[in-house]
Amino acid sequence: MCGIVGFTGAQPAAPILLDGLKKLEYRGYDSAGIAVMSEGGITVSKVTGRIANLCEKTNDGKEVPGSAGVGHTRWATHGAPTEENAHPHLSNDGRFAVVHNGIIENYIALREELIRDGYRFESETDTEVIVHLVEMYYSGSVRDALIKTTNRLRGSYALGVICSEEPGKLFAVREASPLILGVGVGENYFASDVTALVPYTRNCIYMDDGEYAELTKDSVKVFDCTGQELSKEVVRVTWDVQAAEKGGYEHFMLKEIMEQPAAIKAATAPRIKNGKVFFEEMDISAEELREIRKIVITACGSAYYAGCSGRYALEKLCRIPVEVELASELRYNNPLIDEHTLLIVISQSGETADTIAAMKECRARGAKALAVVNVVGSTIAKLADWTAYTWAGPEIAVATTKGYTTQLAVLYLLSVYFADKLGYIDDCSKYVSSLRALPRLIQHAIDMNPGAAQLAKKYHGSKSLFFIGRNTDYAVALEGALKMKEISYLHAEAYAAGELKHGTIALIEEHTPVIALCCNPAIMEKTLSNIVEVKARGAEVLALTFRDNQKILSVADDLLFIPKIDALFSAAVEIIPLQILAYYVAKENGCDIDKPKNLAKSVTVE
Ligand code: G6P
């Protein structure tokens, strides 16, 4: 979703802002703009579409002079993706420019008030009220004007502000939307995502909600809402810059699929010692675990599906009931949650608005929250009682791959760790060796399916694809169908195979593609019956199973394979051929694989 960058230093700002915006492209956006200060005042340039258009319009930034400025990528919410609605927005007197991520919930009332007071609006956005409020409240101090302005705002906002009265100075505000300050030498930065900062500096300050920052080329200061200066920790970011580049692959998604063996190793290996699982970052005691009556997992999108899969291992090994709830539903459900509930919050970005809201709701009811998060310092990581990082490294493609599988790996580890603490496992070694094998088995699953690209040629024109499976296979089918939808734009649905006869089978006709997941030996025979049923109605069956599974091999039309693995931990391996298939189907359909239409990497609004 929307992205923010800011730069102040001695060199021209525009090329750095454009470069920062390129690093944020992966989050999804539909227009972009920059505003830079020079002696002549503030110059703004905006475009619809890609950053490349902004580079062309500004001659790679050369036509926007000055050494301090802000930039923005917009993902339209209030008003269409037009140049007028793109950020930065200027005040009527031209002295202020503002970029904003988030949503101002009370903007209609503020807009009416400002219009009554004579302010002229150029856009349909909620953001524009902010810049007019700043102009209205300004009487010599931008910081004071910002404090007064934000006192009037309801909603979420990360703001970047410049003022021609204070050349070379950037102002930033954070409330429920991420903002990180980059500390350099003779130049300083801010951005809504650390990937835009790491090419320039690894020294970062994570702003907290309700904080204000002022940056000049030589100083970075953070204040609270009374104007009191705060002492903030400078954190060293260890993300590898190379990891956020394509490295020879045609798409980030393919690169990230291939990175999964290494990512799973990074998530698991440091937590396995002497045949046992350890989470050094988590001081949860056996007594605390025994107090837990139920575990509630909450998340959105693929992270929710990771929860659907992880639930089986948690329930089976820890013998605690597990509910998996969509965050967007849980938050409005008046959930039955108390201090005996352990909430597991899963999020790659750590910034998903619904997940944050659900987490706050459950914590207010007394639940302790354990976050399974990839992005260090993200909002969810900060709100949690404990955080288990997934260590997947930067994930750039909008459709998650290594983000999802590392979430699974952490859930598997947690299952073994908790069950061991609770005294339910006599010998961890069986589970630990399965977990240790995951990176190797994932590599096998990649290597075993060179035919996926060819299969994509057969299935890419399908009207609908049905994914079926039972139990652990069903949970993977949900994510498999989502991958297909997100990037190839084909209609794909996952069904619990046992439910077919209750309706869906009516949709099966001659040549309807059915992707059948058969990787759980305990219920394989049952899924086989469903395959036979859909075949009898003319379906083309693409089965995902083990190489020696003769029964399935003899009935399926096409095959994808995984190596043998304990069904409890199989989802992380089983999803691999489905990711690869979705990738090649999307490629056949000529889709923008890394940046699917209408989707955003991190959904920071409801
Ligand atoms: C978006 C992304 C998905 C992701 C979901 C939840 O929809 O496109 O890939 O699964 O948000 O995001 P989170 O960062 O909370 O895991």
CATH number of residue 264's parent domain? 3.40.50.10490
Quick check: 384 pLDDT over 80? yes
Q: Which of 599, 602, 605 to mutate to test the pocket of ligand 1 (most atoms within 8 A of CB)?
A: 602
Residue nearest to atom 8 of ligand 1 (CA): 601
Which one, of 392, 66, 20, lies nearest residue 201 by Cα? Answer: 20
CA of 349 to the centre of ligand 1 (A): 7
What percent of the chain shows pLDDT beyond 70?
Answer: 99
C-alpha–C-alpha distance, residues 88 and 21, integer Å: 13
Atom from ligand 1 closest to the CA of residue 352: 15
Quote the pLDDT of residue 598.
82
Domain limits for position 527: 452-588
Q: Is 605 inside a domain boundary? A: no
Q: Are residues 420 and 521 in the same domain?
A: no
pLDDT of residue 243: 67
**SS3 of residue 298 by DSSP:** strand
Distance CA 211, CA 223 (A): 6
Whether the per-residue pLDDT at 304 is higher than 80: the answer is yes
User: How many other CB atoms sit within 10 Å of the CB of residue 438?
Assistant: 25
Rounded distance from Cα 78 to ligand 1 centre (Å): 21
Same domain, 482 and 569: yes
User: Is the peptide bond between 12 and the residue preceding it cis, with omega within 30 degrees of 0?
Assistant: no
Give distance in angstroms: CA of 414 to centre of ligand 1. 21
Helix axes 402-421, 301-318, angle to 10 degrees: 20
601 included as an active-site residue: yes
User: Quick one: how far is CA 258 from the chain centroid?
Assistant: 19
pLDDT at position 241: 66
Nearest ligand 1 atom to the CA of 398 is 8
Q: Tell me whether residue 362 is one of the annotated catalytic residues.
A: no
Neighbours of 532 (CB within 10 A): 11
My answer on whether 272 and 196 are in the same domain is no
Atom of ligand 1 nearest to the CA of 349: 14
- Please tell me whether residues 42 and 144 are part of one structural domain: yes
Distance, CA of 518 to CA of 553 (rounded, Å): 11
Q: Of 22, 368, 483, 601, which one is the catalytic site residue?
A: 601
Q: How far apart are CA 223 and CA 118, in angstroms?
A: 32
What's the number of domains the chain is made of? 3
- pLDDT at res. 244: 67
Angle formed by the axes of helices 452-459 and 571-588, nearest 10°: 60
pLDDT digits (tens, 9 = 90+) for 473-496: 999 999 999 999 999 999 999 999
Q: How far is CA 160 from CA 84, 98, 118, 190, 528, in A?
A: 18, 6, 24, 8, 57
For residues 217 and 322, state if they share a domain.
no
Give me the mean pLDDT over the 591-597 stretch. Answer: 90
Least confident of 32-41, 253-262, 277-286, 319-328: 277-286
Atom number, ligand 1, closest to the C-alpha of residue 299: 15
Give the tens place of pLDDT for each residue, 92-117. 999 999 999 988 989 999 999 999 99
The string of pLDDT tens digits covering residues 233-261 is 999 988 766 666 777 789 999 999 999 99
Asked whether residue 443 falls in the same domain as residue 457, the answer is no
Please state which of the ranges 395-404, 561-570, 596-605 shows the lowest mean pLDDT.
596-605
Strands 341-347, 464-469: parallel, antiparallel or unpaired by DSSP? Answer: unpaired
Task: For a ligand 1 pocket test, name from 400, 402, 405, 479 the mutation site with the most ligand atoms within 8 angstroms of its C-beta.
Answer: 400
Among 27, 193, 300, which is best to mutate for testing ligand 1, by the most ligand atoms less than 8 A from CB? 300
Q: Which pLDDT score, from 0 to 100, does residue 242 have?
A: 65
Residue 570 C-alpha to ligand 1 middle, in angstroms? 22
Q: What is the mean pLDDT of the chain?
A: 94
Confirm if 341 and 372 have CB atoms less than 8 A apart: no
Ligand 1 site, CB within 6 A: 300-303, 347-349, 352, 355, 398-400, 599, 601-603
Identity of residue 532: V
Task: Say whether both 437 and 464 belong to one domain.
Answer: no
Q: 347 alpha carbon to ligand 1 midpoint, in Å? A: 7
User: Which of 238, 253, 268 is the endpoint of a domain?
Assistant: 238
Asked if 394 and 464 sit in the same domain, the reply is: no
Determine, yes or no, domain membership for 599.
no
Range name among 59-73, 96-110, 241-255, 420-434 with the lowest pLDDT average:
241-255
pLDDT level of residue 344 (50, 70, 90 thresholds):
very high
Which of 209, 238, 267 is the C-terminal boundary of a domain? 238
117 Cα–ligand 1 center, Å: 41
Closest-CA residue, ligand 1 atom 3, reads 301
Q: Which of 603, 604, 605, 606 to mutate to test the pocket of ligand 1 (most atoms within 8 A of CB)?
A: 603
Atom nearest to 400 CA in ligand 1: 9
Tell me which of 2, 163, 318, 362 is the catalytic residue: 2
> Do residues 441 and 456 both lie within one domain?
no
Q: Which residues, in sequence order, are CB contacts of 335 under 8 Å at separation 6+?
A: 296, 325, 361, 362, 365
**pLDDT (tens digit, 9 = 90+) per residue, 37-57?**
998 899 999 999 999 999 999
Domain stops at, among 447, 478, 506: 447
Q: How far apart are the first and last CA of the chain?
A: 12
Tokens of 253: 């998604």
Cα-to-centroid distance, 382 and ligand 1 (Å): 18
| Beta-sheet pairing, 211-215 with 220-223 | antiparallel
Within a domain: 606: no
Does 57 reside within a domain? yes
How is residue 84 written in tokens? 């007028």
User: Token pair for residue 328?
Assistant: 């967007």
Peptide bond into 563 cis (omega under 30): no
pLDDT tens track for 158-171: 999 999 999 999 99
In whole angstroms, give the CA distance from residue 271 to residue 279.
6
Residues 6+ apart with CB under 8 A from 235: 203, 204, 205, 206, 376, 377
Residue nearest to atom 7 of ligand 1 (CA): 301
